[in-house]
Amino acid sequence: MNPQFKKGVLELVVMTVVSKQDIYGYELVKQVCEVIHVNEGTIYPLLKRMTNENYFETYLKESTEGPPRKYYHITPSGLEAMHQLKADWLQFSRKINHYLEDEFIIY
């Protein structure tokens, strides 16, 4: 997949995953990679930025497999931003798809 396509939609995918359930970083990376393949090194700076923007809150939760894990929880402002991003993405992708489909019609 084109790296610019990934970059444009990654924030929306991450927000969507976190909106479904509180989740820790490694599990989030696995779920995001089911949609678009990204490296862990791409996700963690994004999580930090989105936490700084108050889209996510974090908390520690004990783990049975080692040290406590940092979980991410979407905030009300994060939900609002996610809904706006989703609306923007759907409108944008519909326009692009419509244009591309019209371009490939054989007369």
pLDDT above 90 covers a percentage of the chain that reads: 72
CA 56 – CA 8 distance, rounded (Å): 19
Q: Which strand ranges, in their side-by-side order, compose the sheet holding 56-63?
A: 23-24, 66-74, 56-63
Asked if residues 72 and 58 have their Cβ atoms less than 8 Å apart, the reply is yes
pTM: 0.87
Domain boundaries, the chain: 3-103
Topology adopted by domain 3-103: Arc Repressor Mutant, subunit A (1.10.10)
Q: How sure is the predictor about 72, in pLDDT bands with cuts at 50, 70 and 90? A: very high
DSSP letter string over 27-72?
A: HHHHHHHTTS---HHHHHHHHHHHHHTTSEEEEEEEETTEEEEEEE
Measure the CA dihedral 58/4/97/35, to 10°. Answer: -40
